[in-house]
Amino acid sequence: MPLPDPSRRYPITLPDGSAHAGTVFLSEAIDHPRFQAGAFSYASDFEPPEDWAHRLAPYLFACSEESLSIGKFCQIAHGVRFLTSSANHSTDGLSYYPFPIFDPDNMEAFQPDTRDTVIGNDVWIGYGALILPGAEIGHGAIIGAGSVVRGTVPDYAIVTGNPGQVARKRFDDDTIARLIALAWWDWPVARIEAALPAILAGDIGALEDVSC
């Protein structure tokens, strides 16, 4: 089974031969200095935007001090939003009101929160999930629909709810350690294609054989 061409903006071809505009490879659709996405990571939307970076991360500006990075082979459903650190207000004073943003001479220098948001590889973020400033989501994690996520999500954890909590791990600790060691998402495309039967079957032993 061949992988789709990672250089295509629209990786899904419909039965009539047309491109499905509601799903894009982010590496080809995002043009933003503070937003990076790895190969094969896609986002879907029922109302495809002109500006995918703004739709997904509306508070991430070109002048922002933080960044949003998404690994390879991630899957982002309709309605997902990343509230990056530029959305945060200062909590040091007697009021949270962001007075400096109304002063053109000071507004760009005023950013009380500069934490990056980091999404690992092979992460599935479900419908309508909200990722809060500074979140770090580990490899292979699943973020359930409508979840509100902050802080650190372990590798291969399933997070649900508001506030988001780890419901369980996808695999036992030994299997997770083996998957992290394999890091199949960094393999050459031809090796990943050869490994797809093992990946789809959930056979980590066969995946390790392909890695040799």
3-state secondary structure of 143: strand
Return d(Cα 101, Cα 106) in angstroms, integer: 7
For residue 27, which amino acid is it? S
- Residue tagged active-site, from 20, 32, 78, 89: 89
Identify whether 163 is preceded by a cis peptide bond (ω within 30 of 0).
Answer: yes
Task: Quote the CA–CA distance of 169 and 179 in Å, as a whole number.
Answer: 13
Q: Is 139 a catalytic residue?
A: no
DSSP string covering 153-197: E-TTEEEETTTTEEEEESS-HHHHHHHHHH-GGGS-HHHHHHHHH
Catalytic residues: 89
